[in-house]
Amino acid sequence: MQTGFRFNLTPVKEPLGFVKVVEWLTAVLAFGTCGGYTGRNVVSIICGGSSNETLSATFTYPFRLNQELLVESNNTLCNRTVPATHLVGDSSSSVEFFVAVAILAFLYSMMALLVYLGYMHVYRDSDFGPMFDFVLTAVFAFLWLVCSSAWARGLQTVKDATSTAGIESTLALCTDRDVRCEVTDYASMRSLNISVIFGFLNLILWVGNAWFVYKETRWHSQKVNAQQAAGRGPNPAPI
């Protein structure tokens, strides 16, 4: 069996290779839409009987909100001295897990495409290649389910912590009777929402791709051969 590199675009025209190209692209879009994000909500503090104040609630990837200052130390707001106050929450573990899975999926898709385009003759002539590909594809499908669900929950935590209700529960000043706090300008979280969508889209793609990879394994061929043999039935007895 020859094992040299043979460039062939035919696998990309088949579902097995074409889906891998789509997976490569959607993995890039998944981590590209949330990594490096910076947002800022403007909080208006309406002081009864005095001038109003404005704060900035800034949050950045990886969304360790409990390290983001909302009020600097001993700041004066509404004629009151307010201690240093941070936002509440930490979504770093979920978003970093999401980005890690997306990067690993990107790298594996690229490696698999290299094998499909140059070593498909070796891939299909061996049992190990398709079986290894199938197992890893199934693992990535599971990882996409877990990390997308976790990041969707983490994103909701970010939204809650930076909303009007979240600011009111974080900043003690907002509980005073003559003080009202309200987020008057929200940062766009469209790219973060899109990242969650791409996460679940990747889940669908990898689950679907698992079927096409499974068809390349000997498990599928053995099942097909067994079904064909059962369909033919027993040989007729000699007369």
Better-predicted residue by pLDDT, 174 or 227: 174
Arithmetic mean of pLDDT, 151-174:
94
- Residue 237 to residue 239: CA distance in whole angstroms: 7
Residue pair 213/41 in contact (Cβ under 8 Å)? The answer is no
**pLDDT at res. 129:** 84
DSSP 91: -
Residue pair 161/68 in contact (Cβ under 8 Å)? The answer is no
CB < 8 Å & 24+ apart, contacts of 220-223: none
Q: Is the pLDDT confidence value at 121 over 90?
A: no
Residue pointed to by tokens 């130390």: 73
- Residue 239 to residue 234: CA distance in whole angstroms: 15
Banded model confidence at residue 236, pLDDT cuts 50, 70, 90: low
Q: Is the pTM of this model over 0.75?
A: yes
Q: Which residues, in sequence order, are bridge partners of residue 58? A: 40
Banded model confidence at residue 10, pLDDT cuts 50, 70, 90: confident
Arithmetic mean of pLDDT, 31-41:
93
- Residue 119 to residue 167: CA distance in whole angstroms: 57
Mean per-residue pLDDT of the chain = 88
- Residue 210 to residue 139: CA distance in whole angstroms: 10
